[in-house]
């Protein structure tokens, strides 16, 4: 039997209605989520990708009880998020980042003391636990400085410290490495992995494809409020036509047909590239190579460029999101 899911949603919709214009008489209606079905298993790092405005933060807020769905159902750790948010809150952590939610006039350590008291951490444990999370996010040296003196990245680390202070079973991370320098971003990814070895399940949104590829077991791609694909990285590669990508540039448009019939060709994408066309071919076997593409086009093109490489998550993402927009 498969394990009980940590997150399970059915048909989540969320509509935002707001007024704007002269005397606020104009009504606008945004359907941020249009029927989302999702399942996240215990102990995995689940990644949610999608363009700006796709609905990632809205979904994260619904699953972490900050926002109610307009319709549909979500169970997190077996609890209905709309019916019993109080029971869920102590068991989850949420890192939304940004400027909000921290007290600027006091130090990081004092912020964490305040949150520890809110979470009901026993006083005997509190200071030790705070020191532990400060070490874990790399803020020990700056821990007693006022947060208003913090850089953006330092605030992001403090958000993370706050998110794990009460040892949640499930952690929501909305763009956790945004604004972090490369070393801090790497340390944050390491921290995420170490949390998973402690048994924490992670639900993460990111715009960094390599980060998703490096961290996540399974991914979903959200576009305009709907999930357009959900699978492992390998499964998503198959979905867009394969592990190998061959890019070609510098031939005549009329020659594309010659490539279409090459053995091993999965999907072909064309893109304007200056006055010419750039072609991207995906392939799942080993038959399609830069050499076979070059041979098919002949040697009459002095500026022909052909490059063979592994299909990366960014290719998959762009294929799927563009397909959706088409």
Ligand X SMILES: Nc1ncnc2c1ncn2[C@@H]1O[C@H](COP(=O)(O)OP(=O)(O)OP(=O)(O)O)[C@@H](O)[C@H]1O
Residue ranges that bind Mg ion, judged by CB under 5 A: 56-57
207: left (phi over 0), alpha (psi -120 to 50) or beta: alpha
Using DSSP, how many helices (H) and how many strands (E) does the chain show?
A: 11, 14
Stretch that binds ligand X, among 51-59, 121-129, 250-258, 268-276 (CB under 6 A): 51-59
- Tell me whether residue 54 or residue 265 sits nearer to Mg ion (CB atom): 54
The site map against ligand X for 52-91 (x = CB under 6 A) is xxxxxxx---------------------------------
Q: How far is the CB of 57 from ligand X (least distance, A)?
A: 3
* Interactions with ligand X, residue window 13-32 (CB under 6 A): 16, 18, 30, 32
* Count of residues that bind ligand X according to CB under 6 A: 12
Stretch that binds ligand X, among 49-57, 88-96, 148-156, 314-322 (CB under 6 A): 49-57
Q: How far is the CB of 52 from ligand X (least distance, A)?
A: 3
- Tell me whether residue 58 or residue 283 sits nearer to ligand X (CB atom): 58
- Consecutive H or E run containing 132: helix 123-137
Long-range Cβ contact pairs of 283-286 (< 8 A, separation 24 or more): 283/241, 283/242, 283/243, 283/244, 283/245, 283/246, 284/238, 284/241, 284/242, 284/243, 284/244, 285/242, 285/244, 286/244
Q: How far is the CB of 285 from Mg ion (least distance, A)?
A: 38
Quote the DSSP letter at residue 69.
-
Q: How far is the CB of 309 from Mg ion (least distance, A)?
A: 30
- Tell me whether residue 57 or residue 177 sits nearer to Mg ion (CB atom): 57
Instruction: Please give the C-alpha separations between residue 37 and each of 8, 154, 225, in angstroms, as whole numbers.
Output: 7, 35, 11
Q: Is the dihedral of CA 127, 131, 137, 141 positive or negative?
A: positive
- Tell me whether residue 39 or residue 224 sits nearer to ligand X (CB atom): 224
- Chain positions contacting ligand X, by CB under 6 A: 16, 18, 30, 32, 50, 52-58
């Amino acid at each position: 039997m498969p394990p009980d899911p940590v997150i399970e949603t059915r048909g989540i919709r969320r509509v935002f209605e707001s007024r704007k214009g002269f005397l606020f008489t104009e009504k606008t209606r945004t359907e941020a989520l249009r029927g989302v079905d999702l399942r996240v298993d215990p102990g995995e790092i689940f990644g949610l990708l999608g363009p700006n405005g796709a609905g990632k933060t809205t979904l994260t807020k619904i699953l972490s009880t900050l926002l109610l769905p307009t319709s549909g159902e979500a169970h997190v750790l077996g609890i209905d998020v709309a019916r019993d948010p109080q029971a869920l809150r102590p068991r989850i952590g949420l890192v939304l980042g940004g400027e909000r939610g921290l007290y600027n006039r006091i130090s990081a350590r004092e912020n964490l003391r305040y949150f520890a008291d809110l979470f009901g951490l026993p006083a005997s444990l509190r200071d030790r636990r705070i020191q532990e999370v400060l070490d874990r996010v790399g803020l020990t040296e700056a821990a007693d400085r006022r947060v208003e003196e913090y850089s953006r990245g330092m605030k992001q680390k403090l958000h993370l410290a706050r998110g794990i202070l009460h040892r949640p079973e499930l952690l929501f991370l909305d763009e956790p490495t945004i604004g972090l320098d490369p070393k801090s971003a790497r340390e944050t990814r390491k921290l995420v992995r170490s949390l998973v070895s402690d048994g924490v399940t992670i639900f993460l949104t990111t715009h960094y494809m390599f980060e998703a590829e490096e961290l996540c077991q399974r991914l979903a791609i959200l576009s305009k409020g709907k999930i357009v694909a959900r699978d492992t990285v390998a499964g998503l590669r198959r979905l867009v036509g394969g592990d190998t990508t061959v890019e070609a540039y510098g031939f005549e448009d009329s020659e594309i047909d010659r490539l279409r019939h090459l053995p091993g060709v999965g999907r072909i994408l064309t893109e304007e590239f200056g006055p010419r066309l750039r072609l991207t071919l995906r392939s799942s076997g080993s038959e399609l190579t830069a050499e076979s593409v070059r041979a098919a086009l002949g040697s009459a093109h002095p500026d022909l460029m052909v490059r063979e490489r592994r299909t990366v998550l960014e290719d998959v993402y762009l294929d799927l999101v563009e397909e959706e927009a088409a």
